[in-house]
Chain A
Amino acid sequence: KNEVEQSPQNLTAQEGEFITINCSYSVGISALHWLQQHPGGGIVSLFMLSSGKKKHGRLIATINIQEKHSSLHITASHPRDSAVYICAVKRGGSEKLVFGKGTKLTVNP
Protein backbone atom coordinates (compact mmCIF):
# COMPACT_ATOMS: atom_id res chain seq x y z
CA LYS A 1 0.00 0.00 0.00
CA ASN A 2 1.30 3.45 -0.92
CA GLU A 3 2.01 5.84 1.92
CA VAL A 4 -0.01 8.50 0.09
CA GLU A 5 -3.29 7.70 -1.65
CA GLN A 6 -5.25 10.14 -3.76
CA SER A 7 -8.80 9.96 -5.01
CA PRO A 8 -10.19 10.10 -7.52
CA GLN A 9 -7.51 9.20 -10.06
CA ASN A 10 -9.39 11.01 -12.80
CA LEU A 11 -12.06 13.67 -12.53
CA THR A 12 -14.06 15.37 -15.25
CA ALA A 13 -16.18 18.39 -14.44
CA GLN A 14 -18.16 21.10 -16.16
CA GLU A 15 -17.04 24.68 -15.91
CA GLY A 16 -18.36 26.27 -12.74
CA GLU A 17 -18.60 23.09 -10.71
CA PHE A 18 -17.13 22.71 -7.21
CA ILE A 19 -14.23 20.25 -7.20
CA THR A 20 -12.86 18.16 -4.35
CA ILE A 21 -9.70 16.06 -4.51
CA ASN A 22 -8.78 13.87 -1.57
CA CYS A 23 -5.48 12.73 -0.11
CA SER A 24 -5.00 10.15 2.63
CA TYR A 25 -1.70 9.17 4.17
CA SER A 26 -0.63 6.42 6.51
CA VAL A 27 2.36 7.90 8.34
CA GLY A 28 2.94 10.73 10.77
CA ILE A 29 3.83 13.88 8.92
CA SER A 30 5.14 17.35 9.61
CA ALA A 31 3.62 18.95 6.52
CA LEU A 32 1.58 18.24 3.42
CA HIS A 33 1.99 19.84 0.01
CA TRP A 34 -0.43 20.24 -2.85
CA LEU A 35 1.18 20.61 -6.27
CA GLN A 36 -0.27 21.35 -9.67
CA GLN A 37 1.26 19.91 -12.84
CA HIS A 38 0.18 21.62 -16.03
CA PRO A 39 -0.40 19.72 -19.27
CA GLY A 40 2.94 21.10 -20.47
CA GLY A 41 4.67 19.36 -17.57
CA GLY A 42 5.59 22.25 -15.29
CA ILE A 43 4.99 21.77 -11.55
CA VAL A 44 3.79 24.55 -9.28
CA SER A 45 3.49 24.41 -5.51
CA LEU A 46 -0.03 25.44 -4.47
CA PHE A 47 -0.05 24.97 -0.71
CA MET A 48 2.04 23.73 2.16
CA LEU A 49 0.05 23.09 5.32
CA SER A 50 0.49 21.37 8.63
CA SER A 51 -2.89 22.14 10.20
CA GLY A 52 -6.23 23.75 9.50
CA LYS A 53 -7.03 25.40 6.23
CA LYS A 54 -5.46 27.67 3.63
CA LYS A 55 -7.10 29.63 0.84
CA HIS A 56 -5.68 31.21 -2.28
CA GLY A 57 -8.13 32.62 -4.76
CA ARG A 58 -10.54 29.85 -5.76
CA LEU A 59 -8.40 27.14 -4.18
CA ILE A 60 -8.87 25.90 -0.62
CA ALA A 61 -6.79 23.23 1.10
CA THR A 62 -7.72 21.59 4.39
CA ILE A 63 -5.98 19.03 6.53
CA ASN A 64 -7.14 16.82 9.42
CA ILE A 65 -4.05 15.54 11.17
CA GLN A 66 -5.97 13.11 13.41
CA GLU A 67 -7.70 11.50 10.44
CA LYS A 68 -4.57 11.67 8.25
CA HIS A 69 -6.54 13.29 5.46
CA SER A 70 -6.36 16.39 3.33
CA SER A 71 -8.67 17.85 0.68
CA LEU A 72 -8.11 20.32 -2.11
CA HIS A 73 -11.19 22.22 -3.21
CA ILE A 74 -11.64 24.35 -6.32
CA THR A 75 -14.62 26.67 -6.40
CA ALA A 76 -16.16 27.85 -9.69
CA SER A 77 -13.88 25.58 -11.72
CA HIS A 78 -12.56 26.78 -15.07
CA PRO A 79 -10.98 24.97 -18.03
CA ARG A 80 -7.63 26.50 -17.10
CA ASP A 81 -7.78 24.47 -13.85
CA SER A 82 -7.32 21.32 -15.96
CA ALA A 83 -4.12 19.75 -14.65
CA VAL A 84 -2.80 16.92 -12.51
CA TYR A 85 -2.98 17.69 -8.79
CA ILE A 86 -0.42 15.94 -6.63
CA CYS A 87 -0.41 15.50 -2.89
CA ALA A 88 2.93 15.01 -1.11
CA VAL A 89 3.78 14.52 2.56
CA LYS A 90 6.86 15.33 4.57
CA ARG A 91 7.84 13.49 7.72
CA GLY A 92 9.36 15.26 10.68
CA GLY A 93 13.13 15.59 10.65
CA SER A 94 13.48 15.36 6.91
CA GLU A 95 12.79 17.46 3.86
CA LYS A 96 12.02 14.34 1.82
CA LEU A 97 8.60 14.38 0.13
CA VAL A 98 6.60 11.24 -0.59
CA PHE A 99 4.16 11.75 -3.44
CA GLY A 100 0.73 10.49 -4.31
CA LYS A 101 0.07 9.31 -7.85
CA GLY A 102 -1.89 12.43 -8.71
CA THR A 103 -5.45 13.27 -9.73
CA LYS A 104 -6.01 14.27 -13.33
CA LEU A 105 -8.66 16.97 -13.51
CA THR A 106 -10.36 17.96 -16.75
CA VAL A 107 -12.75 20.90 -16.71
CA ASN A 108 -14.88 21.19 -19.81
CA PRO A 109 -16.32 24.51 -20.99
Chain B
Amino acid sequence: DAGVIQSPRHEVTEMGQEVTLRCKPISGHDYLFWYRQTMMRGLELLIYFNNNVPIDDSGMPEDRFSAKMPNASFSTLKIQPSEPRDSAVYFCASSRTPGTGPGANVLTFGAGSRLTVL
Protein backbone atom coordinates (compact mmCIF):
# COMPACT_ATOMS: atom_id res chain seq x y z
CA ASP B 1 0.00 0.00 0.00
CA ALA B 2 1.26 3.50 -0.81
CA GLY B 3 0.22 4.79 2.59
CA VAL B 4 -1.89 7.87 3.21
CA ILE B 5 -1.60 10.21 0.25
CA GLN B 6 -2.04 13.94 0.61
CA SER B 7 -2.05 16.69 -1.99
CA PRO B 8 -0.82 19.24 -2.55
CA ARG B 9 2.42 18.97 -0.55
CA HIS B 10 2.87 22.70 -0.61
CA GLU B 11 0.43 25.50 -1.31
CA VAL B 12 1.03 29.20 -1.28
CA THR B 13 -2.00 31.38 -1.72
CA GLU B 14 -3.22 34.86 -1.04
CA MET B 15 -5.59 35.87 1.69
CA GLY B 16 -9.19 35.42 0.66
CA GLN B 17 -8.57 32.57 -1.77
CA GLU B 18 -10.18 29.17 -1.42
CA VAL B 19 -7.88 26.30 -0.47
CA THR B 20 -8.69 22.62 -0.92
CA LEU B 21 -6.52 19.91 0.62
CA ARG B 22 -7.01 16.30 -0.40
CA CYS B 23 -6.42 12.97 1.26
CA LYS B 24 -6.57 9.34 0.20
CA PRO B 25 -6.52 7.02 3.23
CA ILE B 26 -5.13 3.50 3.34
CA SER B 27 -7.52 1.01 1.79
CA GLY B 28 -9.51 -0.79 4.46
CA HIS B 29 -9.06 1.92 7.07
CA ASP B 30 -12.39 3.12 8.41
CA TYR B 31 -11.17 6.11 10.42
CA LEU B 32 -9.84 9.30 8.83
CA PHE B 33 -8.45 12.23 10.75
CA TRP B 34 -7.48 15.79 9.79
CA TYR B 35 -4.87 17.45 12.02
CA ARG B 36 -3.23 20.86 11.92
CA GLN B 37 0.27 21.59 13.22
CA THR B 38 1.62 25.04 14.06
CA MET B 39 4.64 26.15 16.03
CA MET B 40 2.45 27.87 18.61
CA ARG B 41 -0.21 25.21 19.17
CA GLY B 42 1.47 21.98 18.11
CA LEU B 43 -0.73 19.23 16.69
CA GLU B 44 -4.49 19.60 16.97
CA LEU B 45 -7.33 17.45 15.74
CA LEU B 46 -9.65 19.31 13.40
CA ILE B 47 -12.17 16.60 12.53
CA TYR B 48 -12.44 12.85 12.21
CA PHE B 49 -14.65 10.52 10.22
CA ASN B 50 -15.72 6.92 10.80
CA ASN B 51 -17.05 5.05 7.78
CA ASN B 52 -17.23 8.37 5.90
CA VAL B 53 -19.41 9.99 8.58
CA PRO B 54 -18.07 13.01 10.52
CA ILE B 55 -17.93 12.05 14.20
CA ASP B 56 -16.21 14.95 15.93
CA ASP B 57 -15.67 18.33 14.30
CA SER B 58 -15.18 20.26 17.52
CA GLY B 59 -11.65 21.17 16.46
CA MET B 60 -12.69 22.94 13.27
CA PRO B 61 -11.74 26.55 13.96
CA GLU B 62 -14.69 28.31 12.39
CA ASP B 63 -17.16 28.23 9.54
CA ARG B 64 -14.44 28.98 7.04
CA PHE B 65 -13.30 25.39 7.44
CA SER B 66 -15.24 22.46 6.05
CA ALA B 67 -14.40 18.80 5.49
CA LYS B 68 -16.07 16.09 3.46
CA MET B 69 -15.60 12.40 2.88
CA PRO B 70 -17.76 11.41 -0.09
CA ASN B 71 -16.42 7.86 -0.14
CA ALA B 72 -14.04 5.55 1.69
CA SER B 73 -11.05 6.51 -0.43
CA PHE B 74 -11.19 10.30 -0.51
CA SER B 75 -11.55 13.28 1.79
CA THR B 76 -11.16 17.02 1.38
CA LEU B 77 -10.50 19.87 3.79
CA LYS B 78 -11.55 23.24 2.44
CA ILE B 79 -10.78 26.70 3.74
CA GLN B 80 -12.80 29.54 2.29
CA PRO B 81 -11.80 32.33 2.55
CA SER B 82 -8.25 31.65 3.70
CA GLU B 83 -6.45 33.93 6.16
CA PRO B 84 -2.75 34.26 7.08
CA ARG B 85 -3.42 32.63 10.47
CA ASP B 86 -4.44 29.46 8.64
CA SER B 87 -0.80 28.96 7.62
CA ALA B 88 0.21 25.58 9.02
CA VAL B 89 0.96 22.00 8.08
CA TYR B 90 -2.21 19.97 7.66
CA PHE B 91 -1.92 16.23 8.20
CA CYS B 92 -4.35 13.55 7.23
CA ALA B 93 -4.17 10.19 9.02
CA SER B 94 -6.11 6.95 8.90
CA SER B 95 -6.57 3.85 11.03
CA ARG B 96 -8.66 0.73 11.42
CA THR B 97 -11.23 0.11 14.12
CA PRO B 98 -9.59 -1.08 17.37
CA GLY B 99 -9.87 -4.78 17.94
CA THR B 100 -10.15 -5.76 14.30
CA GLY B 101 -6.88 -7.64 14.22
CA PRO B 102 -3.15 -6.97 13.88
CA GLY B 103 -2.35 -3.42 12.93
CA ALA B 104 -5.69 -2.08 14.11
CA ASN B 105 -5.46 1.20 15.97
CA VAL B 106 -2.12 2.00 14.32
CA LEU B 107 -2.38 5.57 13.14
CA THR B 108 -0.75 6.17 9.76
CA PHE B 109 -0.03 9.75 8.77
CA GLY B 110 0.28 11.29 5.37
CA ALA B 111 3.27 13.47 4.54
CA GLY B 112 1.31 16.65 5.22
CA SER B 113 0.28 19.68 3.21
CA ARG B 114 2.18 22.85 4.05
CA LEU B 115 -0.10 25.84 3.56
CA THR B 116 1.13 29.41 3.43
CA VAL B 117 -1.43 32.18 3.20
CA LEU B 118 0.06 35.55 2.33
A residues at B contact (CB < 8 Å) = 31, 33, 35, 41-45, 48, 86, 88, 94-102
- In the assembly, what is the distance between CA of A95 and CA of B44, in Å? 13
B residues at A contact (CB < 8 Å) = 31, 33, 42-45, 48, 50, 55-56, 59, 89, 91, 93, 95, 105-109, 111-112, 114
- Taking a contact as CB atoms closer than 8 A, the residue among B56, B59, B105 that contacts A31 in the complex is B105
Inter-chain pairs besides A33-B107, A43-B93, A48-B107, 9 sampled, C-beta below 8 Å? A35-B107, A41-B89, A41-B112, A42-B112, A43-B91, A88-B43, A96-B45, A99-B42, A99-B43
Looking at A35, A44, A45, A100, the one whose CB has the most chain B CB atoms below 10 A away is A45
Contact partners of A31 in chain B: CB under 8 A = 105
Identify 9 residue pairs between A and B in the complex whose beta-carbon atoms are under 8 Å apart, listed by A's number. Answer: A42-B109, A43-B91, A43-B93, A44-B109, A48-B106, A88-B43, A95-B55, A95-B56, A96-B59
Do A96 and B44 touch (CB < 8 A)?
no
Where chain A touches its partner, the secondary structure class is strand
Where chain B touches its partner, the secondary structure class is strand
Do A99 and B112 touch (CB < 8 A)?
no
Least CB separation from A97: chain B residue: B45
The 9 closest A-B pairs by CB, nearest first: A43-B109, A99-B43, A45-B107, A101-B42, A96-B45, A48-B105, A96-B56, A99-B42, A45-B106
Contact partners of A97 in chain B: CB under 8 A = 33, 45, 107
A45 and B109 in contact (CB under 8 A), knowing A95-B31, A97-B45? Answer: yes
- Taking a contact as CB atoms closer than 8 A, the residue among A35, A43, A86, A94 that contacts B56 in the complex is A94
Report the minimal beta-carbon distance from A2 to chain B, rounded to whole angstroms.
Answer: 9
Least CB separation from A30: chain B residue: B98
- In the assembly, what is the distance between CA of A98 and CA of B107, in Å? 14
Contact partners of A96 in chain B: CB under 8 A = 45, 48, 56, 59
- In the assembly, what is the distance between CA of A99 and CA of B42, in Å? 8
Report the minimal beta-carbon distance from B114 to chain A, rounded to whole angstroms.
Answer: 8
